[in-house]
């Protein structure tokens, strides 16, 4: 058995042990999605399903039966059958028996048998766990299974007395990355960092944003990453002030910055890096001033990340630096605010910094897990723990406006790194992407 299979078996056992004894959990993978005609969008498995199974074929469902005092836990896979005709067109399918052996399930059945088997598996079990309300198709299927079980009531068979939301339990598990996940995320971040360096070396006045995007994608793919983890943003000039810009079709001009937010997905794990650099290879004084401010904000945010510190601490730290900078540089009118805290309380910074300073990172780029301690009455920001992975991404976006110094107009800067909380602070995974002003300028001299 490979280490990966053992890891998935352990996760299934851990989840089953947290369920009500003898109860059943059902988790389907993502559906294939038609693009048009007979062409699908590239297939991507469901992250929860993959976390527990390691199995990437569509049309698959995982069923877990929790242990009781007398019976061990069981994990059951439903998947596509072997199909020599379809395999000529679409490639290899494991089929239930080979999948059972390769991925360490106790039992496996063809997906066509799901309804019939669920009618039996849900008989006399105390509770059902599934992703309530996530898929109308699954909700309807679950209702039909329950109806089938209830129809056997005259024989003394009972349907589950309660349903539970499965994903909350999985969110907590996914929030803490094990050593293998951390190694994979470090590799994904290293590939993305190399892609940013490559894109910097490529950039010059006259190139189109999509040409820079092509450099990023080339570097991702040549290193084995399967996809970008999200649609890359390559935003030159004023486009950098559009937070989710992704047309990537403008020509970059001398004197502008380009903001690039791009990260690859490697073996199911995301990276998410932003760098901002001058098209010409040299920052102007105004660009340098704002860039140095964002960099200081990021340093302050990184210093606020350690076990036991609240998740929100990094945002508060970055915000203080940014808002002070906005006051010092005249982006915000000093006379209007009695103090820095007053400006922040007034949300004055939102004109130039309107997003949070990061998010959980993992299999999904905006990974799962609550940001607050939901068990406490006032729901405070949750304390960080070793193994949590997050991004740190302060920025500043200056749209032209009355009272805003013109030298800063249309400059948009974000600096984003991926980190993992360690025993005494955090480890930056994406540090190979050039970040200092001199480091970037030197890298761009290599062109
Ligand atoms: N690239 C998405 C984000 O930074 O959150
Ligand atoms: Mn991000
Ligand atoms: Mn990003």
How would residue 240 be classed by pLDDT, with cut points 50, 70 and 90?
Answer: very high
* 273 closest CA partner among 313, 239, 232: 232
Residues whose CB is less than 8 angstroms from the CB of residue 392 and which lie 6 or more positions away in sequence, other chains included? 298, 301, 302, 305, 314, 318, 357, 358, 416, 417, 419
Distance CA 278, CA 243 (A): 18
Ligand positioned closest to the Cα atom of 230: 1
Distance CA 301, CA 344 (A): 16
Ligand 1 pocket check for 417: Cβ under 6 Å: no
Distance CA 445, CA 423 (A): 38
What stretch of H or E contains 199?
helix 179-202
Ligand 1 pocket check for 364: Cβ under 6 Å: no
- At 369, list the tokens: 């897990």
Mean pLDDT of 145-157: 94
Ligand 1 pocket check for 245: Cβ under 6 Å: no
List the residue whose alpha carbon is closest to atom 4 of ligand 1.
272
| Residue 167 backbone phi and psi in degrees, to 5 | -70, -30
| Ligand 3 centroid distance, CA of 237 (Å) | 18
Residues whose CB is less than 8 angstroms from the CB of residue 403 and which lie 6 or more positions away in sequence, other chains included? 333
**Ligand 1 atom, smallest distance to 366 CA:** 5
Ligand positioned closest to the Cα atom of 361: 2
As residues whose CB is below 5 A from the ion ligand 2, the structure lists 272, 391
Q: Give the model confidence (pLDDT) of 273-317 as tens digits.
A: 999 999 999 999 999 999 999 999 999 999 999 999 999 999 999
What's the sign of the alpha-carbon dihedral 408, 241, 444, 392?
A: positive
- DSSP 8-state code for residue 230: S
CA 274 to chain centre: 14
The 3-state DSSP class for residue 338 equals coil
| 398-414 b/e (C-beta count within 10 Å ≥ 16 → b) | beeeeebeeebebbbbb
Asked if the model's pLDDT at residue 446 lies above 90, the reply is no
**Ligand 1 atom, smallest distance to 263 CA:** 1
- Rounded to whole angstroms, what are the CA distances from 379 to 310, 313, 358, 370? 12, 15, 19, 10
| Ligand 3 centroid distance, CA of 247 (Å) | 16
| Ligand 2 centroid distance, CA of 315 (Å) | 13
The 3-state DSSP class for residue 35 equals strand
Q: Give the model confidence (pLDDT) of 200-217 as tens digits.
A: 999 999 999 999 999 999
**Ligand 1 atom, smallest distance to 355 CA:** 5
Say what the pLDDT of residue 447 is.
83
Q: Give the model confidence (pLDDT) of 15-36 as tens digits.
A: 999 999 999 999 999 999 999 9
List the residue whose alpha carbon is closest to atom 3 of ligand 1.
272
List the residue whose alpha carbon is closest to atom 2 of ligand 1.
272
Distance CA 359, CA 367 (A): 7
Ligand 1 pocket check for 213: Cβ under 6 Å: no
| Ligand 2 centroid distance, CA of 273 (Å) | 7
Q: Catalytic positions, please?
A: 38, 244, 261, 272, 355, 359, 366, 393, 397, 414, 416
Q: Give the model confidence (pLDDT) of 56-68 as tens digits.
A: 999 999 999 999 9
Distance CA 27, CA 281 (A): 50
Asked if the model's pLDDT at residue 89 lies above 90, the reply is yes
DSSP string for residues in 64-97: EE---SSS--EEEEEEPPP-HHHHHHH-----HH
Distance CA 395, CA 298 (A): 9
Ligand 1 pocket check for 57: Cβ under 6 Å: no
Q: Give the model confidence (pLDDT) of 360-386 as tens digits.
A: 999 999 999 999 999 999 999 999 999
Ligand 1 pocket check for 272: Cβ under 6 Å: yes
| Ligand 1 centroid distance, CA of 260 (Å) | 11
**Ligand 1 atom, smallest distance to 272 CA:** 1
Ligand 1 pocket check for 261: Cβ under 6 Å: yes
Contact between 433 and 296 under an 8 Å Cβ cutoff? The reply is no
| Residue 168 backbone phi and psi in degrees, to 5 | -60, -40
| Ligand 3 centroid distance, CA of 393 (Å) | 7
Percent of the chain clearing pLDDT 90 (strictly above)? 98
List the residue whose alpha carbon is closest to atom 5 of ligand 1.
366
Best probe residue, ligand 1, of 366, 412, 414, 430 (max atoms within 8 Å of C-beta): 366
Say what the pLDDT of residue 1 is.
84
| Ligand 3 centroid distance, CA of 366 (Å) | 9
Distance CA 56, CA 105 (A): 14
Q: Give the model confidence (pLDDT) of 312-337 as tens digits.
A: 999 999 999 999 999 999 999 999 99
Question: What's the mean pLDDT when you consider all of the chain?
Answer: 97
- At 273, list the tokens: 């890096």
- At 202, list the tokens: 């490529």
Ligand 1 pocket check for 109: Cβ under 6 Å: no
Q: Which residue has the tokens 């059945």?
A: 109
CA 84 to chain centre: 36
CA angle 214, 220, 226 (to 5 degrees): 115
Ligand 1 pocket check for 265: Cβ under 6 Å: no
Residues whose CB is less than 8 angstroms from the CB of residue 238 and which lie 6 or more positions away in sequence, other chains included? 399, 410, 412
Residues whose CB is less than 8 angstroms from the CB of residue 423 and which lie 6 or more positions away in sequence, other chains included? 307, 386
Say what the pLDDT of residue 304 is.
98
Ligand positioned closest to the Cα atom of 419: 2
Say what the pLDDT of residue 19 is.
97
């Amino acid at each position: 058995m490979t280490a990966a299979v053992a890891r998935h078996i352990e996760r299934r056992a851990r989840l089953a042990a947290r369920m009500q004894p003898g109860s059943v959990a059902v988790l389907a993978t993502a559906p294939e999605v038609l693009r048009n005609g007979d062409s699908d969008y590239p297939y991507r498995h469901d992250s929860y399903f993959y976390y527990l199974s390691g199995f990437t074929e569509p049309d698959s469902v995982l069923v877990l039966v929790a242990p009781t005092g007398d019976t061990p836990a069981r994990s059951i896979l439903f998947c596509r059958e072997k199909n020599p005709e379809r395999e000529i067109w679409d490639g290899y399918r494991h089929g239930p028996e080979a999948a059972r052996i390769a991925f360490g399930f106790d039992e496996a059945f063809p997906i066509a048998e799901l309804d019939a088997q669920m009618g039996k598996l849900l008989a006399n079990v105390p509770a059902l766990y599934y992703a309530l309300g996530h898929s109308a198709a699954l909700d309807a299927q679950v209702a039909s299974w329950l109806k089938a079980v209830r129809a056997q009531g005259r024989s003394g068979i009972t349907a589950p007395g309660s349903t539970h939301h499965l994903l909350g339990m999985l969110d907590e598990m996914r929030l803490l990355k094990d050593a293998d996940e951390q190694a994979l995320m470090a590799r994904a971040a290293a590939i993305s960092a190399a892609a940013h360096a490559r894109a910097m070396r490529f950039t010059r006045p006259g190139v189109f944003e999509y040409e820079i995007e092509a450099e990023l994608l080339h570097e991702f793919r040549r290193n084995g990453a399967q996809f970008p983890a999200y649609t890359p943003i390559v935003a030159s000039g004023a486009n950098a002030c559009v937070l989710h810009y992704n047309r990537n079709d403008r020509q970059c001009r001398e004197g502008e910055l380009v903001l690039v937010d791009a990260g690859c997905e490697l073996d199911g794990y995301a990276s998410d890096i932003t760098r901002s650099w001058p098209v010409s290879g040299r920052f102007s004084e105004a660009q340098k001033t704002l860039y140095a401010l964002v960099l200081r904000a990021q340093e302050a945010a990184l210093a606020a990340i350690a076990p036991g510190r609240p998740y929100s601490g990094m945002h508060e730290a970055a915000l203080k630096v940014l808002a002070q900078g906005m006051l010092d540089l005249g982006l915000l009118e000093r006379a209007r605010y009695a103090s820095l805290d007053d400006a922040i309380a007034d949300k004055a910074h939102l004109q130039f910094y309107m997003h949070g300073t990061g998010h959980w990172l993992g299999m999904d780029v905006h990974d799962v897990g609550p940001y607050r301690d939901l068990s406490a009455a006032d729901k405070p920001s949750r304390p960080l723990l070793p193994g949590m992975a997050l991004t740190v991404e302060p920025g500043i976006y200056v749209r032209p406006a009355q009272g805003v110094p013109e030298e800063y107009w249309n400059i948009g800067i974000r600096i984003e790194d991926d980190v993992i909380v360690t025993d005494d602070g955090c480890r930056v995974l994406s540090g190979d992407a050039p970040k200092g002003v001199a480091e970037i300028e030197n890298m761009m001299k290599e062109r």
